[in-house]
Structure formats: C-alpha cells, structure tokens
C-alpha cells in the first residue's frame, strides 16, 4: 500500500523520568486521510514504550487492511506535487 505517515509523541516529566503522555500517527493515501491518537483522558503518563509509531502501527494496519478488503480504497500512487521556492524575507 502506498501511503505516507508522520508520528509524534508528547512527553511528561515524572519521578521516573520523561514518559509519553500521548502518541499520534497521521497517515494519508492518494484518496484517504486518517489520524490516530492514544492517550489517557486525564493526561497521566502511558507505558514508557508507548510512542506514536509503536502504539499506532497495528491499528493503522488493521484500518487500511479493512479499507482494502471492503473495496473502500485502492492502492493508487500518490501523485507528486510541484514544489516552488519563494523568498519570505531577506534573511532567508
């Protein structure tokens, strides 16, 4: 399946050091966008290994597998986007 993903994790300081507070994963295909987030409603820390990519990989795989199985999505190629460079200030 052709898709792009970006993960993220926000940390919170605890007496045991920094721990993940939540983890998220954003993904998109040529025709679909999906956002996955896991965290506690009261913002308490998660397991020390609960990073965006590790806790969201299986749910994302199941989600896209179900979309493919039920013909809600096809494995289309993501079209390249033209990129333009612009100057926004003299410093840049």
Give the pTM.
Answer: 0.70
Model pLDDT, residue 92: 55
For residues 46 and 19, is the Cβ–Cβ distance under 8 A?
yes
Residue (of 35, 57, 38) closest to 46 by Cα position: 38
Contacts 24+ apart (CB under 8 A), 60-66: 60/5, 60/25, 60/27, 60/34, 60/36, 63/34, 63/36, 64/1, 64/3, 64/27, 64/29, 64/34
Read off the pLDDT of residues 14-68 as tens digits, 9 standing for 90 and up: 888 889 898 899 998 888 899 999 898 898 898 888 888 888 889 999 999 999 8
Residue 83 has pLDDT above 80, yes or no: no
Q: Enter the tokens of residue 20.
A: 């993940």
Residue 26: per-residue pLDDT: 93
Q: What is the DSSP letter of 54?
A: H
């Amino acid at each position: 399946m052709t898709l792009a993903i970006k993960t993220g994790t926000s940390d919170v300081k605890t007496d045991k050091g920094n721990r993940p507070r939540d983890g998220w994963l954003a993904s998109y295909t040529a025709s679909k966008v999906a956002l996955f987030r896991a965290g506690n409603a009261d913002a308490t820390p998660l397991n020390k290994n609960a990073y965006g990519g590790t806790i969201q990989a299986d749910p994302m795989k199941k989600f896209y597998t179900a979309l493919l199985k039920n013909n809600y999505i096809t494995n289309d190629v993501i079209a390249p986007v033209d990129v333009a460079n612009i100057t926004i200030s003299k410093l840049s």
